[in-house]
Amino acid sequence: MTPEQAELWQKLKYFEMDDVKSSLPFSARLARGNGWTLDFALRAVDEYKKFLLLAATLPRPVTPSDEVDQVWHLHLLYTRSYRDELCGQILRKPLHHSPTRGGSTERSKFNDWYNYTLTSYQITFGHAPPKDIWPPAEIRFRLINFIKVNADTHFIIPKKHWWLLLKNQLKRLWRPRS
């Protein structure tokens, strides 16, 4: 970490997005909206702060993992915190969020940026990014089929579990009787 990055990191580390007086603070909302545990949400927020450091100090654009991107999306809704406090007071410059415009060129560009982010993370923080929040590029850009579902009106069954159930049922049916 350069001295400039170290100085900025101290500010980002204690940049608190949770309002302790709020009934639904940032991290709780993040956890609820994504079906995460609070512990995971807090870790994702920590990783978001690391991403911010990279975005603000590296010469090339960086790309977050989907988990970090979810933190970014939510933070963008907290306009005062994002624009005035983060960009205005801490980074002292704007940090724009640029979704893909689609197509193979864009895909390749973001893939390249993401790998650059992972490498820069390791160099800057001295350790590899945690895989559960920063998966490798092939997973990061493959598992992106998200939709918003109303949990009050729908059951959500993870496919992994569904296949396991089905597999076990089939095994039981085909097991030779003794």
Partner 1 sequence: MAPALVNFKMLSSLTPAESLVLLHGKEADFKRMLKLTLMDLLLKKVLAIKPIPAAGHDEAPTVNLYVQRGKHYADYRPFAHEEIYTGYFSREPNREILLANLIKLAHGKAANPAYLRQQVMKTPQLLTAFERGFWERLMDKVKYTEEGALKRTYAATELQELTHLLPDLYYMDKATAKKLLQLLHGNLFLTEAINHHLLVLLDDELSRLFERERTSDNNNDLLYMTDGFDFDSSFDNGFGGSSDDGDSGCGD
Q: Which is nearer to partner 1, 59 or 176 (CB)?
A: 59
Catalog residues that contact partner 1 under the rule CB under 8 A: 11, 13-25, 27-29, 37-39, 42, 55-56, 61-64, 66, 69, 72, 78-81, 83, 85, 87-91, 93-100, 106-107, 109-111, 113-114, 140-141, 144
Tell the smallest beta-carbon distance from residue 169 to partner 1 (Å). 31
- 69 vs 134, which CB is nearer to partner 1? 69
Angle (CA) 131 136 142, round 5°: 120
> Coil, strand, or helix at residue 134?
coil
Shortest CB 21 distance to partner 1, Å: 7
Q: Output 5 or 25, the one with its CB closest to partner 1.
A: 25
Closest to 17 in 3D by CA, of 104, 65, 76:
76
Residue 98 or 178 with smaller CB distance to partner 1: 98
- Give the span between the Cα atoms of 82 and 74, in whole angstroms: 10
> Between the CA of residue 5 and those of 13, 119, 124, 125, 128, what are the distances in Å?
12, 16, 9, 10, 18
Shortest Cβ distance from residue 71 to partner 1 (Å)?
A: 11
Nearest to 14 by CA among 122, 97, 84, 86: 86
- Please, are residues 44 and 70 in contact by the beta-carbon 8 Å criterion? yes
**In the complex, what is the shortest distance from the CB of residue 3 to partner 1, in angstroms, rounded to a whole number?**
19
Residue 114 or 121 having the CB closest to partner 1: 114
